[in-house]
Amino acid sequence: MSDPVFIFDVHLDLSMNALEWNRDLRWSMEKIRRWEQFMNDKVD
């Protein structure tokens, strides 16, 4: 049997949201939605 292989599932979208929107991913979705309710979407 071969050695185990590590697989990383790195979510770029989560990290980009945290950086671009100053989003704290420890918050509940309800709190994030209240915090962002009047924000406008950023242009890609």
Give tens-digit pLDDT for 7-18.
776 777 888 888
- Report pLDDT for 31: 94
User: Residue 8 carries which DSSP code?
Assistant: -
CB 23 within 8 A of CB 32: yes
Give tens-digit pLDDT for 34-44.
998 998 876 66
pTM value?
0.55
Mean pLDDT of 22-32: 90
